[in-house]
Amino acid sequence: MATKTAAQRRTEARRDYDAYIQECPTRHLLDRISDKWVSLLLNALADGPRRYSDLNRIVAGVSQKMLTQTLRGMERDGLVSRTVTPSVPVRVDYRLTALGQSLLPVMRAIKNWAETHIEDVLAARESYDAAA
């Protein structure tokens, strides 16, 4: 087995985590965090833990199936933690983990940008569609 120089190891590490490379695992993470439901759920959990039913009410339009799948994916990726409290009915709470908290400023900025610039985007779409 040939030994590698430090420069070769750094080059390999950069290549291994280059999102422009199709096989890069960061692409899967980018897919996850660019999902609209993930973005909305991260923002919904910003102020603290929420029950599943609360998240279902807050995030309008998400089906129960999609909400469950998204929360499971976020839990798998370490963005949220899930706490089950045995009661009748069972209570399930979700909260952002430290990793999820670290992503929150980016998601808040994107949400705020979208809310601030939606009129500009709609005008650009209208102009584009009229020219087409």
Residue range 71-76: mean pLDDT, rounded: 97
pLDDT tens string 3-55: 888 777 767 766 667 888 877 888 888 989 999 999 999 999 999 999 999 99
Cβ-contact 64, 56 below 8 angstroms: yes
Cα(58)–Cα(108) distance, integer angstroms: 16
Q: Is pLDDT above 90 for 124?
A: yes
Q: Is pLDDT above 90 for 78?
A: yes
User: Residue 69 — very low, low, confident or very high, per pLDDT cuts 50/70/90?
Assistant: very high
pTM: 0.79
Q: Where are the beta strands (DSSP E) in the chain?
A: 50-51, 80-85, 91-96
What are the tokens at 77? 């990726």
pLDDT at 17: 79
Percent of the chain with pLDDT over 70: 93
Residue range 82-91: mean pLDDT, rounded: 90
